Amino acid sequence: MLRQGIPQKIRFLFQVRECRGKTCVSARHKGVSEEQPESMGTGKRTDCLSWDEYFMAVALLSGQRSKDPNTRVGACVADSGNKIVGVGYNGFPWGCSDDELPWNREGDYLDTKYPYVCHAELNAVLNATSRDLSACRIYVALFPCNECTKVIIQSGIGEIIFLSDKYKHTDSVKASKIMLEKSGVLYRQFKTERDAIRLTFRDDL
């Protein structure tokens, strides 16, 4: 039933950069009216994604599963062998209805999303296929809050790669960096020369 509503050709555009201080983590889609033939070659591709680009793209793609109307964040955990061992996105705990709990950002505390939502980093760690995450790294759209940083440190993850640090002036992120520096967990901002990654859903690849 679901496939009947999907056009033959839809192109999704994933932004992989910060846009004027706001992280572009959403996907846009548009119909493709004409076929764009690919050039045929005999040598290997030289423009393939780097590992960092690949895992950050997976994190951004995972964020598109979030029901949050304002902030959609994903996370991806990769091991030292460049295998994905965990993904997650921000949402409510298992068994808690997306339709019953609030998504509000303002109002009385219990009427907002904040006491209920699980961040992407927490879900990625809890969803991991391995208990031992030492020597792993986590890719996230936003620099982790102090609570997620505790989870990352306790899980044994050794490095954080983040896309945006737009909340760097908050006490939460300042506390995160204090804990990371004291625990020896590395962190660095994601860098790429690409502006976007295009994904095309079609049956004639």
* Statement: residue 118 has pLDDT above 60: yes
Q: Which CATH superfamily hosts domain 51-195?
A: Cytidine Deaminase, domain 2 (3.40.140.10)
Q: Are 159 and 185 contacting, i.e. CB atoms less than 8 angstroms apart? A: yes
Q: Residue 199's pLDDT band (boundaries 50, 70, 90)?
A: confident
* Statement: residue 125 has pLDDT above 90: yes
- In whole angstroms, how large is the CA radius of gyration of the chain? 19
d(CA 65, CA 186): 28
d(CA 129, CA 125): 9
Catalytic annotation, pick one of 100, 121, 181, 193: 121
> What angle is formed at CA 150 by the lines to CA 62 and CA 114, rounded to 5 degrees?
60
Average pLDDT over residues 19-40: 44
Joined together, the tokens standing for residue 102 give 């609030």
With a CB cutoff of 8 Å and minimum separation 6, the contacts of 119 are 73, 90, 144, 145, 147, 148
Predicted confidence (pLDDT) per residue in 76-103, tens digit: 999 999 999 999 999 999 999 999 999 9
With a CB cutoff of 8 Å and minimum separation 6, the contacts of 51 are 78, 82
* Burial environment of residue 44 by CB neighbours within 10 A (0 to 12, 13 to 18, 19 or more): exposed
Q: Is 121 a catalytic residue?
A: yes
